[in-house]
Amino acid sequence: MKSNFSMVPYMMKRNPRLALSTARNFWTMYRAYGLSGDFPRRLLKRLSLLYLNLTPLCNLRCLMCGQRGIKGTLSGSAEQEAAKSVLPLSVYEKLIREVQKYHPMLYLWGGEPFLYPHLMELGRMIISSGLNLSINTNGTFLEEYAEQVVRDKWSAIFVSVDGFEQINDEIRGKNSYARAMAGIAAINREKKKRGVPLPNLGIVSVVNRINYRYMGDLVKAGQNYDLSWHIINLGTYTCDKVVEENKRFYRENFGVEACHLEAYNTGFNEGIDGEEFYRILTDIHALGSKYPIITVPAIRPKLIQDYYGFPGKALLGRCPVPWSQANINYNGDVHFCADYPDYILGNIQNEDFWTIYNNSRAQAFREKLKNSPRGIFPGCLRCYQNMLFGRRVRA
């Protein structure tokens, strides 16, 4: 199984500057693995990846989504209520000035980031600051914005598609496949028209019991589009026991009610036959795809059965995230774990980013993580962010 890093040589042919900058961000993350036991004497100013969750709003309701899925924390009126607190552009402008010198990759997501009202202005601001802009989108607005996105030289677009046609639409809603693929085609047309290599485009798919048997159909369909990668994310899942353990841990150690993990306790991984899925992945890798097919996390094949069969079993190494990554929530809250805004470090509307990244709450989190068994907390067992670097996990 290929790891995330396999994107870099592929991108090198298309856009050496972006490939080198991505490699540098991977290196920063890799160093964070080595350094995550240490604390800097001076202010920690290492940052490989800065997530900006721009909006809680979304036009889809994907079944397994921790925000708007069947157990999503932003279901019903919570979404509209939360949307009242999205940040004005001026707050992002200040943030970009603060972090610019350290060259993090900016990763825009949400909700659906195209529903943030100032997305195009923010995109131009990021690119003109010299930073790379990558975005994770459901792709349904790409066709409409293709011209601006290509003109403004966005770096990378991760389009979420979870299966070929009906399978995708069963998970992500009617017509979502057609709209996402039309969006990818529109970006490709625009790139061709202008003769430019950016943005790099790729698909990201989350595995669940509805789609795992049919993932090969999507990989084959993707070959007709000019993609740079297809990431197959084994998925963020949990179970009752882990949720309870995690809640107790956060309550006792941080005095916080950790309520976000429960949103991933959906049962959508139940019934996945790990051995069968391993064979499916082997067939997918044997297809000879034009671009890298990446499995995140890049675990040894033997472990796939355990990944789905035993959600309480640790398969990942210690977490480097708080030493090189951070997430800014749509309301300005800063937290390390992008999917779980439970432990808030501060808010960028009140303080500057580096002060928050180094404050006593941030240090207490790092200290506790460093001293935890296996260097992770009870709820981190299937965390996407910790898997992101794609370091191969040994059986």
Ligand X SMILES: C[S@@+](CC[C@H](N)C(=O)[O-])C[C@H]1O[C@@H](n2cnc3c(N)ncnc32)[C@H](O)[C@@H]1O
3-state DSSP assignment of residue 289: coil
Return the residues of window 325-354 that contact ligand SF4 according to CB under 6 A: none
Q: How far apart are CA 337 and CA 322, in angstroms?
A: 8
Nearer to ligand X, 109 or 212 (CB): 109
List % helix, strand, coil for the chain (3-state, nearest 5): 45, 10, 40
Binding-site member from 104, 111, 317, 332 for ligand SF4 (CB under 6 A): 111
Answer for which of 110, 123, 183, 375 binds ligand X (CB under 6 A) is 110
Phi then psi dihedrals of residue 293, to 5 deg: -100, 120
235 makes contact, choosing from ligand X, ligand SF4, none, with CB < 5 to 8 Å by partner type, with ligand X
Q: Which stretch binds ligand X (CB under 6 A): 71-79, 109-117, 210-218, 320-328?
A: 109-117
Coil, strand, or helix at residue 143? helix
Residue 5 binding target from ligand X, ligand SF4, none, CB below 5 to 8 Å by type: none
Task: Report if residue 155 touches ligand X, rule: CB under 6 A.
Answer: no
Write down the least CB distance from residue 321 to ligand SF4, Å.
20
Between CA 334 and CA 362 the distance in angstroms is 10
- 375 makes contact with ligand X (CB under 6 A): no
Residues 153-182 that bind ligand SF4 (CB under 6 A): 160, 172
Q: Does 60 participate in binding ligand SF4 (rule CB under 6 A)?
A: yes
Residue from 3, 36, 138, 211 that binds ligand SF4 (CB under 6 A)?
A: 138
**Of these partners, ligand X, ligand SF4, none, which one is at the site of residue 384 (CB under 5 to 8 Å by kind)?**
ligand X
Residue with tokens 């808030």: 344
Spatial separation of the C-alpha atoms in residues 188 and 314, rounded to whole Å: 41
61 binds, among ligand X, ligand SF4, none (CB under 5 to 8 A by kind): ligand SF4
Task: Identify the residue among 58, 83, 356, 362 touching ligand SF4 (CB under 6 A).
Answer: 58
Cβ-proximal residues to 330 (8 Å cutoff; 6+ apart), any chain:
53, 54, 55, 56, 82, 83, 85, 86, 87, 110, 111, 116
Q: Are 51 and 326 in contact (CB under 8 A)?
A: yes
Evaluate whether 306 touches 274 at the Cβ level (below 8 Å): yes
Is-contact 139 179, C-beta < 8 A? yes
Q: Using the minimum distance from each CB to ligand X, give the nearer residue, 264 or 340.
A: 264
Q: With CB cut-offs between 5 and 8 Å by kind, which of ligand SF4, ligand X, none does residue 204 bind?
A: ligand X
Residue type, 340: Y
Instruction: Please pick, from the candidates 19, 62, 135, 227, the single residue that binds ligand SF4 as defined by CB under 6 A.
Output: 62
Tell me the DSSP string of 145-211: HHHHHHHTT--EEEEE--SSTHHHHHHH-TTHHHHHHHHHHHHHHHHHHHT--PSEEEEEEE--TTT
**Binder to ligand X among 199, 235, 320, 379 (CB under 6 A)?**
235
What residue ranges bind ligand X (CB under 6 A)?
A: 58, 62, 64-67, 109-110, 112, 136-138, 160, 204, 206, 233, 235-236, 264, 384
Residues that bind ligand SF4 (CB under 6 A): 58, 60-62, 65, 67-68, 110-112, 138, 160, 172
